[in-house]
Amino acid sequence: MDNSDVDPLLLDPTRLSIVSLLAATDWAEFGWVRDAVSLSDSALSKQVTNLSGQGYVEVEKGYVGKRPRTWLNLTPAGRDALRSHVEALQRIVTQAQRTGEAHTASGGQPPPSKSRP
C-alpha cells in the first residue's frame, strides 16, 4: 500500500481538523477555529505553532476597534500538503475496498496477508 504522501503532521486528528477548516476558507478568526475544534486557546496556539513551523499556516494579528484579533489562513504549501494527504487516504480506503471485493469474489478465500507495518 502506497502511503508515501501521508503527511505525518496531518495524521494527528486535531491538526487535520484545523487544516481542513482552514482549507475551506480564505481566512478564519482564531476564536472561531478554537470553538470549532473544541480546544483551549493555549492548545490551539500550540497546534498553530506546529503548523506554522512547517509553513502550513500563516498567522495575522490585528485590532478591530480596541479588541485584539488573530486570523489564521492556510498557505499554498499547507493546501498542497492537505491535498496530497487526502489523496493518500483515499488510496488507502480504495485499496481496502478493492481487497474486500476481491475477497468476496473469490468466495471468501483469505486475501494475501498484509500485516500492518
Q: Nearest distance from residue 55's CB to another protein, in Å?
A: 18
14 CB contacts (<8 Å, ≥6 apart)?
Answer: 37, 39, 47
Site string for another protein, 43-82 (x = CB under 8 A): -----------------x-x-x----x-x----------x
Whether 29 contacts 69, CB under 8 Å: yes
- Classify residue 108 as left (phi > 0), alpha (psi -120 to 50) or beta: left
Q: Is 24 in the site for another protein (CB under 8 A)?
A: yes
* Cβ-based neighbour number of residue 58 at 10 Å: 16
Q: Is 25 in the site for another protein (CB under 8 A)?
A: yes
Positions in the binding site for another protein (CB under 8 A):
1, 3, 6, 8, 11-13, 16-17, 20-21, 23-29, 31-32, 36, 60, 62, 64, 69, 71, 82-83, 86-87, 89-90, 92-97, 116-117
